[in-house]
């Protein structure tokens, strides 16, 4: 079993590296937009290339900067709830959880609201390629979605260069253009990775968090009565059922992990799930407890080392504000259909989740 401490140690071990283009190569993808996603982005890059691609975002995604987005994210959550509240029922995964991260990313990039549905479709189209065991037809569809997303981001960048605004994207562009360290294709694909990295991960986490709380009704009721429990509830839901079950690395030398030897040049996954249920790190790890006092500062669900999630502060705010809006508006929420959480590698899958209430 991979322990909590192993994840932090291996994520920082110089004998492990990001996979660059190894994953698309496994599926015979050696050119095109999906290939560029891996070749040009920060997630899959190493060393100085990775630092150069990540650093323009580090400040903008810091906890303090992201906190400014809180009121807007709360408003978006409330608007989504109001769009179906009077119906007394909703399919929550599609009508809330899939919408909020796409809206938040869209707002960050200053996209017109009217573009969000088609933008969301493209993002989920690309995500399919990352979920593994994918058919040749699905690869073709993911490639088409990735090309369209790349073109859309490129056009958005051109518009913003012509007409800068007071927003995140204009700031980012001014900074990278002045530094001149990223190629035009790199600029596009950092944004594409940010969009893709921040969408399905957060959609799944929003669904799972609500399902866990409603299945532990006394803890849901406690959050409804006392919103100061919200950050603890968010952290515990991420720990108990993380939306990202593992992250991948390649060994550059032979290494030993938990008594097993991994040869050099091997693509392998760190399970965040086993570390998050580690008895050495958590008291009674199999108990869902939003009042837990042993949450570590660095929750391994967001990775470890140089590639640790750049969107963690934003993700936590989305999870917190959506929970605050739901508990305030629909404390009498009923879980009619528990979503099945599927998968033990990469981004996990949830399909539908039906809720009802008396409006």
Q: Contact 125/145 with Cβ under 8 angstroms?
A: yes
In the complex, minimum distance from the CB of residue 13 to ligand HEM, in angstroms, rounded to a whole number: 13
| Residue nearer to ligand HEM on the CB measure, 305 or 336 | 305
Taking CA atoms, 297 is separated from 66, 300, 313, in Å, by 18, 9, 12
- Distance in angstroms (rounded) separating the CA atoms of residues 287 and 219: 12
| Residue nearer to ligand HEM on the CB measure, 85 or 277 | 277
| Residue nearer to ligand HEM on the CB measure, 84 or 231 | 231
| Residue nearer to ligand HEM on the CB measure, 214 or 315 | 315
In the complex, minimum distance from the CB of residue 118 to ligand HEM, in angstroms, rounded to a whole number: 19
In the complex, minimum distance from the CB of residue 16 to ligand HEM, in angstroms, rounded to a whole number: 10
Q: With b meaning 16 or more CB within 10 Å and e meaning fewer, what string describes 131-151?
A: beeeeeeebeebbbbbbbbbe
Q: In what order do the strands lie in the sheet with 267-271?
A: 16-17, 246-251, 267-271
For residue 255, what is the enclosing H or E element? Answer: strand 255-257
| Residue nearer to ligand HEM on the CB measure, 54 or 292 | 54
247 φ, ψ (degrees, to nearest 5): -135, 150
In the complex, minimum distance from the CB of residue 347 to ligand HEM, in angstroms, rounded to a whole number: 8
In the complex, minimum distance from the CB of residue 358 to ligand HEM, in angstroms, rounded to a whole number: 31
In the complex, minimum distance from the CB of residue 44 to ligand HEM, in angstroms, rounded to a whole number: 7
| Residue nearer to ligand HEM on the CB measure, 76 or 202 | 202
Cα distance from N-terminal residue to C-terminal residue, the chain: 47
| Residue nearer to ligand HEM on the CB measure, 53 or 292 | 53
| Residue nearer to ligand HEM on the CB measure, 99 or 202 | 202
Taking CA atoms, 189 is separated from 9, 33, 38, 145, 146, in Å, by 29, 9, 9, 14, 10
| Residue nearer to ligand HEM on the CB measure, 90 or 206 | 206
For residue 70, what is the enclosing H or E element? Answer: helix 70-84
In the complex, minimum distance from the CB of residue 45 to ligand HEM, in angstroms, rounded to a whole number: 7
Q: Residues in the chain, how many? A: 359
In the complex, minimum distance from the CB of residue 15 to ligand HEM, in angstroms, rounded to a whole number: 15
Using CB under 6 A, list all residues that contact ligand HEM.
Answer: 42-43, 54, 193-194, 197-198, 201-202, 205, 242-244, 247, 301-303, 307, 309-311, 314-315
In the complex, minimum distance from the CB of residue 95 to ligand HEM, in angstroms, rounded to a whole number: 19
Work out whether strand 246-251 and strand 267-271 pair parallel, antiparallel, or are unpaired: antiparallel
- Distance in angstroms (rounded) separating the CA atoms of residues 195 and 146: 11
Q: Contact 131/243 with Cβ under 8 angstroms?
A: no
Ramachandran area for residue 295 (φ above 0: left; ψ -120 to 50: alpha; else beta): beta
In the complex, minimum distance from the CB of residue 42 to ligand HEM, in angstroms, rounded to a whole number: 4
Q: What is the rounded (10 degree) CA torsion for 203, 159, 183, 139?
A: 40
Work out whether strand 334-337 and strand 267-271 pair parallel, antiparallel, or are unpaired: unpaired
Using CB atoms, what's the residue nearest to ligand HEM?
A: 311
CB contact set of 235 (below 8 Å; sequence gap of 6+):
292, 295, 299, 316
| Residue nearer to ligand HEM on the CB measure, 23 or 220 | 23
């Amino acid at each position: 079993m991979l322990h909590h401490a192993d994840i932090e140690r291996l994520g920082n071990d110089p004998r492990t590296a990001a996979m660059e283009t190894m994953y698309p190569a496994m599926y015979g993808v050696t050119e095109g937009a999906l290939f560029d996603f891996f070749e040009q982005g920060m997630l899959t890059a190493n060393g100085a290339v990775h630092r150069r691609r990540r650093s323009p975002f580090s400040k903008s995604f810091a906890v303090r900067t992201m906190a400014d987005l809180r009121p807007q994210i709360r408003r978006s959550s409330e608007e989504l709830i109001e769009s179906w509240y009077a119906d007394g029922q909703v399919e929550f995964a599609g009508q809330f959880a899939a919408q909020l991260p796409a809206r938040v990313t869209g707002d960050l990039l200053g996209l017109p609201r009217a573009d969000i549905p088609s933008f969301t479709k493209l993002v989920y189209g690309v995500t399919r390629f990352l979920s593994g065991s994918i058919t040749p037809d699905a690869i073709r569809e993911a490639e088409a979605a990735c090309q369209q997303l790349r073109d859309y981001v490129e056009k958005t960048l051109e518009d913003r260069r012509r007409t800068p605004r007071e927003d995140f994207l204009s700031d980012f562009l001014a900074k990278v253009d002045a530094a001149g360290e990223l190629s035009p294709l790199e600029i596009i694909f950092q944004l594409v990775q940010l969009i893709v990295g921040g969408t399905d991960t957060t959609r799944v986490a929003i669904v799972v968090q609500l399902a866990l709380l409603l299945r532990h009704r006394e803890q849901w009721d406690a959050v409804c009565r006392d919103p100061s429990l919200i950050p603890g509830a968010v952290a515990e839901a991420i720990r108990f059922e993380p939306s990202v079950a593992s992250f991948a690395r390649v060994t550059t030398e032979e290494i030993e992990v938990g008594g097993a030897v991994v040869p050099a040049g091997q693509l392998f996954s760190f399970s965040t799930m086993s570390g998050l249920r580690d008895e050495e790190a958590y008291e009674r790890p199999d108990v869902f407890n939003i009042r837990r006092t042993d949450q570590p500062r660095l929750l391994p669900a967001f990775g470890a080392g140089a590639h640790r999630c750049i969107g963690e502060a934003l993700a936590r705010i989305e999870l917190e504000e959506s929970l605050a809006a739901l508990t305030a508006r629909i404390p009498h929420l009923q879980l009619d259909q528990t979503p099945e959480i599927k998968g033990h590698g990469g981004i996990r899958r949830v399909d539908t989740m039906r809720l009802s209430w008396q409006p």
